[in-house]
Structure 1
């Protein structure tokens, strides 16, 4: 085998290893970005000045999570879901991008969803009736 063929095979091997390494690094980031805090189908988005609340439904369960409009530094964020006739289930904390999902069993009842990021907030009123 001449030296040109050896160089070509080494270059091909190196490029295959480089591509495999890049895919290994990129795959976990994509999987993390695709992970939603709530299971089910998105049924409503409630926008407000500093973010939005995404509402999901799966079977008789309703789940909601608050998302910041501009992810970045830690800031106070809240989300709350209340099925009619029951107490609200809240979550408060400091987050960069979004809150964890708050999930309640609502069956066929209406729900009231609230959320905030910093000073901006939203309150849905009774929805999904």
Structure 2
């Protein structure tokens, strides 16, 4: 076997290993873990087509919307608004989740909203 053939086989092997590593990183479980907020989970707001997970840490409130059935791209959004401030929104067509969005609330009340398709939830003013 000449040196050119050996180089091609080594390059092919490296490409296969790189592709396998990238596929492992893009699995749905790791995407969900990477998207979660830091802090303590304080509330889950369920609704017919999904749920919003709410986290709190050092005065910051973070939220992520997850659909009931993952995989296909759906219209999703999540927003967090501290009282007296503007809402921080992440919306679009996503396959796994919308968000995370984080707001510094301090000791103020917050309002969390989430939608997946035609279903939605709004918390009202909470965490006062």
What range describes the TM-score normalised by the shorter chain of this pair? 0.7 to 0.9
- Return the alpha-carbon distance in structure 1 between the equivalents of residues 43 and 120 of structure 2: 16
The runs of at least 4 consecutive aligned structure 1 residues that moved more than 2 Å come to: 24-37
2:89 aligned partner:
90
Q: How does 1:9-48 map onto structure 2 within 5 Å?
A: 28=25, 29=27, 31-48=30-47
Q: For structure 1, which segment, 116-125 or 88-97, has the greater mean C-alpha deviation from structure 2 after superposition?
A: 88-97
Shift of 1:36: 3.7
Shift of 1:32: 4.5
1:107 aligned partner:
106
Give unpaired runs (5+ residues) of structure 1: 1-20
Q: How many residues matched?
A: 107
8 A contact 2:35–2:99 mirrored in 1: no
Q: TM-score, normalised by structure 1?
A: 0.75
- Return the alpha-carbon distance in structure 2 between the equivalents of residues 76 and 31 of structure 1: 21
SS in 2 for 1:86: coil
- Return the alpha-carbon distance in structure 2 between the equivalents of residues 72 and 109 of structure 1: 36
2:117 aligned partner:
118
Give unpaired runs (5+ residues) of structure 2: 1-16
SS in 1 for 2:99: coil
RMSD after superposition: 2.0
Q: Does 1:75 align with 2:74?
A: yes
Deviation digits for residues 73-125 of structure 1, max 9, x if unmatched?
Answer: 11100001000111111111111111120000000111000000000000000
Mark the structure with the bigger radius of gyration.
1
